[in-house]
Amino acid sequence: MSDIISWDKAIGKKVKSSDDKDLGKVESITLDYIQTKEGMVSKTYYFIPKYHLSGYDGDKLWVSLTKDEVKAKFERESAPEPSEWETQEYTERRTNITRQHPDFATNIPAYKPSSLDMVQLSWDKIIGKKVKSRDKKDLGDAESVATEYIEVKEGMMSKKHYYIPKYYIQGFDGDSLYASLTKDEIKDRFERDSPPSPSEPQTPEYQERGGQVESAHTQFVHGVPLMAKEPSTEISVDYSGTTYNIPWDQLIHKHAWTTDKVEIGYVERVGNEFIVVREGISKVHIYYIPKTYIRDYDGSQLWIDAPSGLVRSKFERETEPPLKELRAIATEAPRYRRVEPQTQRKEEETDTVTGETDIDLEQRSTEKNTERA
C-alpha cells in the first residue's frame, strides 16, 4: 500500500523512472536532490532534483521522467550546482508540486499511478503526428515544437502553418493529437507565416487554461496526456430503457468502484467494447470489463455494476480476451436484462410477475449501424 514517508527514510529505497525502468537505489539525499547508484561493477550515478520525484508506493520511489531523460540530464560523476537545473520548466514544476503537496519539502507523498506520470507522449516525439481539431477536422502534421507552442503544417502545395499554444493540445489517442479548439477557431487565431512572439498567447484566458491543464495533468510540461480513441459514445440501454452518453476520452485514469463500494483501480485503456482497469503497483491485476457493466460516471469516478468479488473472478485476465468471449460476458450485465411487468389474471386475483428479455449485442449493433446509415 502507498504511504507517505520523510525524505530521510528514502535511503536505500529502489528508484524507478516513469517508463518503469530501474534507476538504482538512493545513496544520499540533500536539500536539493537525491543521489542514486545503479549497478554493482559498472556503476552509474544520477543526481535527480527532488521535485522530479512523483512519490513513494510503499516499496519504490518513482521519478516523473523516463530513464533516457534522467540519463541525459542527471547522470554524472559528481554533484552538480543547483543553478544547473533551475530552468523555467523546473520552477513551474516546483510551484505545482508545492501547491498539491504543501509538505513536500519534508515528506515524500504517496505515489498513485493516476498522477499520469506514466501515461504521456513526450513533446519531442510528436513530430510527424497528425493533428485534429475539437470538431475532428484535419489540421495537418506536427512540424516542430517550441517552448510555448507546436507548429502544424497543412497541405503539400498550398501550405498553411498553425502555431498552436501547447495548453490547447488536449491529448494523443495513439494516432492523432487533438486540439481543444475547433478548426475555425485555430485558423482565426493561430494561422500565420511565422512564429508568434512568446508574449502573444499569454492572455488571461490562456493563463487560466494553463492552470487548469497543469492541475489535471501535472506532467504536461514533459508530454501530451494519452486519451481514448472514442471521444463520445453512447451506451444504448439504460435501466429505464433510455440512452445516455459516456465521454470515453475522460475515463482514462479515473478510479473505478464496485457496487459494494470497493475501489478496484483506475481505467488504463478504453477499447471499442470494453475498458481495462488496472489495480495495484507491486502486484498488478488487470480487469477487462465490457462497457455494458458500466453503471454510472459522475465526472470523477466510474461505477461498475458488479461487486468486487465478481469483478476479480469474472474479468481478471493476463492478456486481452477474444471479442467473442467479451461479448458473451457482456450479455450477462444487469443493464442487458430489461425487466418487463406481465399481468396475469387468475380468476378475480391479479398477480404481477416479471419476465427478462435478453438483448443480442451483435443484432443491436447491426440495428444501430442501420439506423445511422
CATH number of the domain residue 44 falls in? 2.30.30.240
What pLDDT was estimated at residue 149? 92
pLDDT for 185 beyond 90: yes
Domain co-membership, 239 together with 219: no
> Cα separation of 86 and 94, whole Å?
10
158 within domain boundaries: yes
Can you give the residue range of the structural domain that contains 188? 121-202+213-224
Domain co-membership, 27 together with 74: yes
Grid coordinates representing 247 are: 465521454
Q: What is the mean pLDDT of residues 75-81?
A: 88
**Closest among 186, 170, 185 to 224, alpha carbons compared:** 170
DSSP assignment of 31-54, as one string?
SSEEEEEE-SSS-EEEEEEGGGEE
Domain co-membership, 109 together with 134: no
Q: Which is it for strands 14-16 and 60-63: parallel, antiparallel or unpaired? A: parallel
Q: What is the mean pLDDT of residues 118-134?
A: 83
Count the domains in the chain: 3
Domain co-membership, 49 together with 14: yes
* One-letter identity of residue 250: Q
pLDDT for 115 beyond 80: no
Q: Tens digits of per-residue pLDDT, 303-341?
A: 999 999 999 999 999 888 888 888 889 888 887 654 444
Domain co-membership, 58 together with 156: no
347 within domain boundaries: no
Looking at mean pLDDT, say which of 202-206, 253-257, 309-313 comes out highest: 309-313
What pLDDT was estimated at residue 203? 84
Domain co-membership, 175 together with 129: yes
pLDDT for 95 beyond 70: yes
Domain co-membership, 165 together with 262: no
Domain co-membership, 94 together with 168: no
Q: What is the mean pLDDT of residues 212-233?
A: 69
177 within domain boundaries: yes
What pLDDT was estimated at residue 282? 64
41 within domain boundaries: yes
Domain co-membership, 158 together with 191: yes
Q: What is the mean pLDDT of residues 122-133?
A: 90
Domain co-membership, 101 together with 189: no
**Closest among 255, 282, 222, 226 to 51, alpha carbons compared:** 222
132 within domain boundaries: yes
What pLDDT was estimated at residue 116? 41
pLDDT cut 70: percent of the chain above it: 80
> Cα separation of 328 and 331, whole Å?
6
**Closest among 56, 44, 43 to 16, alpha carbons compared:** 56
Sheet bearing 169-172, strands edge to edge: 160-165, 149-154, 138-145, 130-132, 176-179, 169-172
Residue 299 backbone zone (phi > 0: left; psi -120 to 50: alpha; other: beta): left
Where is average pLDDT lowest: 6-10, 61-65, 236-240? 236-240
pTM value?
A: 0.42
Domain co-membership, 27 together with 71: yes
Residue 58 backbone zone (phi > 0: left; psi -120 to 50: alpha; other: beta): left
Q: Which is it for strands 176-179 and 130-132: parallel, antiparallel or unpaired? A: parallel
Where does a domain end: 117, 138, 156?
A: 117
pLDDT for 164 beyond 90: yes
What pLDDT was estimated at residue 337? 59
Where does a domain end: 117, 148, 171?
A: 117
Cα of 128 vs its chain's centroid, Å: 22
**Closest among 103, 99, 83, 164 to 129, alpha carbons compared:** 164
